Amino acid sequence: MKDEPTLDQIEDYHDNESIEKRRTVKLVVLFCIVLGIVYSIVKFNYSVDNDYIGTVNNPGINISND
């Protein structure tokens, strides 16, 4: 346990991160947000609405506005 560094010995503690590490974290967060937006758009545009209740043999209720 004595070999572990304290928080003050870690180079990234107390806002001492390098600019490169901050940029990497920002890019990862931005990539995740963009990926979520793309996934949401694709899911919204290509999802099938299940408004029809019934089968071919038992027609059921059609709640569409046609």
Distances in Å between the Cα of 25 and the Cα atoms of 21, 28, 40, 41, 43 are 6, 5, 23, 25, 27
pLDDT (mean) for 47-59: 71
pLDDT at 49: 66
Boundaries of domain holding 57: 19-62
Residue 33 covered by a domain: yes
5-42 confidence digits (pLDDT tens): 887 778 777 777 888 989 999 999 999 999 999 999 99
Between residues 56 and 27, the one the model is more confident about = 27
- The SS3 of residue 19 is helix
Q: Is the pLDDT of residue 63 over 90?
A: no
Instruction: Please give the tally of structural domains in the chain.
Output: 1
Summary count for the chain: helices (H), strands (E) = 1, 2
Residue 45 covered by a domain: yes
